[in-house]
Chains A and B, each alone.
Chain A
Amino acid sequence: SAVISQKPSRDICQRGTSLTIQCQVDSQVTMMFWYRQQPGQSLTLIATANQGSEATYESGFVIDKFPISRPNLTFSTLTVSNMSPEDSSIYLCSARTDTQYFGPGTRLTVL
C-alpha cells in the first residue's frame, strides 16, 4: 500500500497567479499521476509524473499550464499556472504500487 499526503489541502487564489501543489508518498513508487476533479465531475487524468524525465500529458493539458516535477521516487509537484476561475477544482495526486492510491486532494478556488 501507499500513504499519500498533499499540501496545501486547500487554497484560494487570485486569477493570474500560480500555485504549486506538493505530493509526498511514504514509499518509493515508480508511477505517480495527477488528476483533476472539477465540481460535480469525475476524475480526469492530467499527466503521468515520470521520475527523471518530463511528465507525459493527456490530451487537453499542456506543460506550460501544468508544469510537473518529479525529483525522486517519493515526491512530485504540480503547478497550476496563470490561473483563471475555470481552474477551480480539486487536484489529486496518485501513486501506483500493487494498485493505485490517492492523496486527499487539494481544493483550489480561483477568484
Chain B
Amino acid sequence: AQRVTQPEKLLSVFKGAPVELKCNYSYSGSPELFWYVQYSRQRLQLLLRHISRESIKGFTADLNKGETSFHLKKPFAQEEDSAMYYCARVDSSYKLIFGSGTRLLVRP
C-alpha cells in the first residue's frame, strides 16, 4: 500500500529551537511530495513541494530517496509556527495521500 507516515503526533519545542518534523513514504518510484500546514481556524494550505526546492517561512524539506523520507526542518522555531503539519504525496491519479499529521507546539 502507498503510505505516508508521520511518526510523531505532537512535537513540542521552545522558541528558537530547531524543528524537524518527520515524514516517510512508501513508494519505489519518484514521488511528488508536499507539506501542508493548517493554522488554528484556517484552511489547509500548501507549505512546500519537493520539486520546487524552496524555503517557505524558514522551512525546508529535502527528499531522501535512500531513506524514503521528506522531513520538514526549520533552524529556529517561532511561536507562530504552531500548527498542524501534514505530509502528503500524490499518486498516479493526482490524488493526495496524507500522513496522520503532526501538531507542532512552539512554547515561548
Contacts and interface: CB of A to CB of B under 8 A. Distances in A.
Contact of A99 (B49, B86, B95, B100): B49
Contacts, number: 39
Interface size class of B (residues with CB under 8 A): 10 to 19
B95 A48 contact: yes
B93 A99 contact: no
Given A42-B98, A48-B93, A103 B43 contact: yes
Interface residues of A, number: 18
A76 interface: no
A33 B88 CA distance: 15
Decide if the interface of chain A is mainly helix, strand, loop or mixed.
strand
Contact of A43 (B34, B45, B86, B94): B86
Contact of B96 (A41, A94, A104): A94
A92 interface: yes
A33 B95 contact: yes
Interface of A: 31, 33, 41-45, 48, 92, 94, 96, 99-105
Interface of B: 34, 36, 43-46, 49, 86, 90, 93-101
